[in-house]
C-alpha cells in the first residue's frame, strides 16, 4: 500500500491515520465509457445520421433538379431517420464527453464545439423537416438542409481531430504499460489517498480521482510516485501517455516531465507539473 498526501491549500499536510483514509473503488475509464468490449460506440453510430441527413439533402437536390416526387419522398423519409440515429449517436458522445475527455484541456473545448455544432445541424434538419411537413418554404427547407450538411461536416472535422490528435477513445498502450487502471475516492474533501500499488510494475501508472483533481500514481525504478495528470501545455492526460525511466510523455504533443521533480524535460510545455509526497 502507499499513502500520498494532497491539499488544495498546500502540497504537503500532516499525517493522517491509515484507518481514516478512504479506500478507492473502480471508476469510469479514460477510454470510451460508451463502448462494447473496448470498442467506442460513438464512431460506430455517427455514420448513420451523417449518411441519412446528407443523403436527404442530396436526394432533395436531385428531386428539385429532375422534378421527381419519388426522390423527394426518399429525402423526406431520410430526415427523421437521421434525427433518430443522431440522438443515439449523441447519447454515446455525451457519455464520452463527461467521462473520457480530460477537463480543463483543449480537447474539452474542442469537444464542446463539436457537440454544439452537431446540435445545430440536427436543429436545422428538424426545422427543414417541419417545413416540408407543412408544405411551406420548399426552397428554404432545402437551404436549411444545405446549411445543416455544412455544419455537420465542420463538426465531423472536429471529431476527427479529437480522435486522431487528442486520441480520445484510442487505446495506445505501450510496452509493459499493463491494463488500464483508474480509481476514485468517495469523499472529495479527503486529504489522503490510499492506493494498492502491488499490481503496478515498473513504468506502469494508475489514474486516481480525488474530488475534482486527477492524480497519477506511478511506479518507477526508484519506487512509487504521484503527480498531476494534467499536462501544463494543453491539458493532455499524462496517465494516458508513456512512462519510461522516470520520464512521462504527454500523448498529445509530446511534452516530457520528470516524474520525481515535475520539471519539464522536453517542450512544448514550459511549466512543471505538480508532484506529491508518497509514503510506502
Per-residue confidence band for 213, with pLDDT thresholds at 50, 70 and 90: confident
Q: Average pLDDT for residues 196-209, to the nearest whole number?
A: 76
**How many Cα atoms sit within 13 Å of 201 on the Cβ side?**
6
Rounded distance, CA 174 to CA 251, Å? 11
**Location of each CATH 1.20.120 domain in the chain:** 35-164
CATH of 35-164, one of 1.10.3470, 3.40.190, 1.20.120, 1.10.10: 1.20.120
The pLDDT tens digits for 118-146 are: 999 999 999 999 998 888 778 999 999 99
pLDDT tier at 71, thresholds 50, 70, 90: very high
- Assigned CATH for 2-29+173-279: 2.102.10.10
Beta bridge partners of residue 213, listed in sequence order:
210
| CATH 2.102.10.10 domain extents, the chain | 2-29+173-279
Amino acid at each position: 500500500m502507499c499513502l500520498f498526501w494532497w491539499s488544495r491549500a498546500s502540497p504537503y499536510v500532516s499525517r493522517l491515520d491509515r484507518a481514516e483514509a478512504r479506500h478507492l473503488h473502480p471508476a469510469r475509464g479514460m477510454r470510451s465509457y460508451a463502448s462494447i468490449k473496448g470498442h467506442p460506440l460513438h464512431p460506430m453510430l455517427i455514420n448513420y445520421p451523417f449518411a441519412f441527413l446528407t443523403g436527404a439533402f442530396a436526394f432533395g437536390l436531385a428531386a428539385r433538379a429532375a422534378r421527381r416526387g419519388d426522390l423527394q419522398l426518399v429525402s423526406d423519409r431520410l430526415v427523421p431517420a437521421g434525427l433518430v440515429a443522431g440522438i443515439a449517436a449523441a447519447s454515446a458522445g455525451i457519455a464520452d464527453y463527461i467521462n473520457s475527455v480530460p477537463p480543463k484541456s483543449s480537447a474539452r473545448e474542442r469537444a464542446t464545439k463539436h457537440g454544439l455544432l452537431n446540435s445545430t445541424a440536427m436543429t436545422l434538419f428538424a426545422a427543414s423537416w417541419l417545413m416540408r411537413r407543412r408544405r411551406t418554404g420548399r426552397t428554404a427547407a432545402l437551404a436549411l438542409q444545405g446549411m445543416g450538411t455544412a455544419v455537420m461536416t465542420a463538426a465531423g472535422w472536429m471529431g476527427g481531430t479529437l480522435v486522431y490528435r487528442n486520441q480520445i477513445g484510442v487505446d495506445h498502450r505501450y510496452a509493459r504499460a499493463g491494463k488500464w487502471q483508474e480509481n476514485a475516492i468517495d469523499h472529495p474533501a479527503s486529504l489522503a489517498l490510499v492506493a494498492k500499488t502491488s499490481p503496478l510494475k515498473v513504468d506502469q501508472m494508475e489514474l486516481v480521482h480525488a474530488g475534482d483533481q486527477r492524480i497519477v500514481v506511478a511506479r518507477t525504478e526508484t519506487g512509487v510516485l504521484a503527480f498531476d495528470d494534467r499536462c501544463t501545455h494543453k491539458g493532455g492526460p499524462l496517465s494516458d501517455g508513456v512512462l519510461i525511466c522516470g520520464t512521462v510523455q504527454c500523448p498529445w504533443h509530446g511534452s516530457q516531465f520528470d516524474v520525481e521533480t515535475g520539471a519539464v524535460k522536453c517542450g512544448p510545455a514550459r511549466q512543471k507539473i505538480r508532484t506529491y509526497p508518497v509514503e510506502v
